[in-house]
Amino acid sequence: MPQPHALLSRAPHRDRPQLALPGGIALAQARAHEVCGPARRSFAAWAAGRMQGPVFWIAPAFGTDPLNPDGLWPLADPGRFTFLSPKRAADVLWCLEEVLRAGVVPLAVADLTGLPGLTAVRRLHLAAEMGMAEGAVAPLALLLTPGDGGAPGIETRWHMAPAHAPGAQRWQLDRRRARTEPPRAWVLERDASGRIAPAEAARALAEV
């Protein structure tokens, strides 16, 4: 009887590759993370800009506004994005699961109109681990959820909202849940190049 692949046996989190974002923010790959709040799509675009390779953005054909490619600049190259628009909301998670299992797309985003159930999230984790084991990349899944979120079983939960000030584009980012890290908050700001960074780092770049 074949033995299960080691990568499907809940390996310690320290063994997983991570997407590192400025300010000590990290997202474990081969896992599903939740992002809520009015600026959740900006967070996903920010993450995409910190990665290489294609991005699959999955949203139902109804209920969500399509992304404006011009608005993605300078966070990420719009040419890297493939947009999938299932006709049924239930098919969004199915598409995401299939993308993760293939292990060929480093970032897959599901723009959801409601909260997924625990079973669905567990399936996403397993599909991402299968993709890492059998594919070319360790896929990262972002679940964009309405309101304050609350999806069960996710690796981390983030809330991002505008906090603009005169002459500065800023956001408040809160890590509300993580398996291995405490809650924490950051103030993000567009730096001199137009990219998003923690406010202190953005101001330091502007002064160089």
pLDDT digits (tens, 9 = 90+) for 68-95: 888 888 799 999 999 999 999 889 999 9
The domain in which residue 94 lies consists of 17-155
Helix, strand, coil share (%) of the chain residues, nearest 5:
30, 30, 40
What type of residue sits at position 197?
Answer: A
Residue 207 lies in a domain: no
For residue 4 the two structure tokens come to 């299960």
Three-state DSSP at 82 gives strand
* Single pTM value for the model: 0.88
Residue bearing the bigger pLDDT, 62 or 207 = 62
- Per-residue confidence (pLDDT) for residue 64, from 0 to 100: 66
What type of residue sits at position 136?
Answer: A
Residue 6 pLDDT exceeds 50: no
Supply the CATH number for residue 109's domain. Answer: 3.40.50.300
Q: How big is the chain, counted in residues?
A: 208
User: How many angstroms separate the first and last alpha carbons of the chain?
Assistant: 62
Residue 8 pLDDT exceeds 80: no
Tally the domains of the chain: 1
- Per-residue confidence (pLDDT) for residue 14, from 0 to 100: 46
Beta strand 140-144 with 107-111: parallel, antiparallel or unpaired?
parallel
